[in-house]
Structure 1
Amino acid sequence: MARFSKQDWLDLGLTRLSREGASGLTVEALCSAAARTRGSFYHHFKDHDAFLEQLLLAWKQRNTLDVADAIMQQPEEKRAQTLSDIANMLDQDLERAVRKLAQSNPIARGIVQDVDEVRTEFVVGLYCNMGLEETLAREIAQLEYAAYVGSQIIWPGMTASDRIRLDQRFASMVAKAFLKD
């Protein structure tokens, strides 16, 4: 049997969090799903809290930092649309599960707050680069991000294509109202 790496545990944790919520993240549930012993788990993580922290940092890396890096590789005129496409294709079940976990877990809450700040600031930067004044860029970014997160909760079954369509509508409205030459 191949060794189960730290990354394997994190991948399993993200999958279980997306599918089962926090109840799928107990050490017992993880070990059972991985067909590994508790010793294998504790070889990589000091305790369950350390696992949760690493799990949420892995989520932050994949769903925020890696996304931002991918966007910045695009030509400036394609960044906003690429961000919409990538963000709306993320695992929305995982996004909701992380936020639900953050309601009761201070480790998750701190990381989610950091992610929200990083994501919002990233969008502020995109709008500033498009010519908006920073205060207005921040207000629009906050509204757009609140709509993104809110839609995950209000319409959990909304398809990625429907989310992208709504995001395109929002971008069109912003462009017409604020990005006039």
Structure 2
Amino acid sequence: MSSNRLSVNDWTAAALEAIGRGGLAAVAVEPLAARLGATKGSFYWHFTNRDALIEAALQRWERDHTDAVIALVEAESDPLARLRLLVSTVIDSTRIPHADSIELAMLATAGHPHVAPVLARVTERRVSYTSALFEALGLPATEARQRGLMAVSAYLGHAQLAHAAPQVVPSTDADLHSYVDRMVQLLTAPLISPDPGEAGR
């Protein structure tokens, strides 16, 4: 690729790929320029410094992995269909090379001053959006929030397993379809009243 044709998107895509491979420490101007077949001058045409590239890359991650997913899900009219599409989309995304690595790298560097506000905003939006889907299914706000949190936690746990022990998660389309169906079934199960015998314990 000719360096004079590189765009901000080219640089942020390369930065995110680097984050997926080695965390924020892997975002270095000269290695990225070499990978893109560009010069440092091309980098400084778009960014004032490395921090500016990291901030732009994090904004792109937020758009691609949260904003775009929500927009896709919102195309469905039925709340249950939206929930299933959301679960299916995020679980399936863990099979994309580097996708789960980027997610886990963000969590691993949660205290970084650039990452912390973005991760907090993304997490809250994901939980709030998923909670709203449960509310649309008729659950009270408090219960909907709990299930939204459980759904996001299940996704992050799956992403960790897919990265660290891929052999334990569904690998075929059929197995993944069944797995998503079961997850949605569990997340939308009716509230279970406590056993009367347990209430006094």
Normalised by the shorter chain, which TM-score bucket?
0.7 to 0.9
| Residues 134-176 of structure 1: CA deviation (Å, up to 9, x unaligned) | 1100011112212221232245223565666444323212333
For 1:177, the equivalent position in structure 2 comes to: 190
Q: 2 CA distance for matches of 1:163 and 1:109?
A: 32
What secondary structure does 2:23 align onto? helix
Contiguous gaps of at least 5 residues in structure 2: 94-98, 193-201
Q: Say if 1:137 and 1:97 are closer, same or farther in 2 by CA, change over 3 A.
A: same
Tell me if structure 2 keeps the 8 A contact 1:102–1:112.
Answer: yes
Q: Say if 1:151 and 1:112 are closer, same or farther in 2 by CA, change over 3 A.
A: same
Does residue 32 in structure 1 map to residue 40 in structure 2? no
For 1:92, the equivalent position in structure 2 comes to: 100
Supply the RMSD in Å over aligned alpha carbons: 2.2
Q: Which aligned pairs between 1:1-181 and structure 2 lie closer than 5 A? A: 1=2, 2-76=4-78, 77-90=80-93, 91-103=99-111, 105-156=112-163, 157=166, 158-159=169-170, 165-178=178-191
The size of the alignment, in residue pairs, is 178
Deviation at 1:99, TM superposition (A): 1.9
After TM superposition, the runs of 4+ consecutive aligned structure 1 residues lying more than 6 A away are none
Moved more, 129-138 or 165-174: 165-174
**More helix, by proportion:** 1
Contiguous gaps of at least 5 residues in structure 1: none
Deviation at 1:78, TM superposition (A): 1.3
Q: 1 CA distance for matches of 2:177 and 2:160?
A: 16
Tell me if structure 2 keeps the 8 A contact 1:88–1:164.
Answer: no
Q: 1 CA distance for matches of 2:113 and 2:75?
A: 34
Tell me if structure 1 keeps the 8 A contact 2:76–2:82.
Answer: yes
Relative to the length of structure 2, the TM-score reads: 0.79
Relative to the length of structure 1, the TM-score reads: 0.87
| Residues 76-135 of structure 1: CA deviation (Å, up to 9, x unaligned) | 1411111011111222122112222334x2111210111000100110110011111111
The residue identity in structure 2 corresponding to 1:151 is H
For the pair shown, the structure with the greater C-alpha radius of gyration is 2
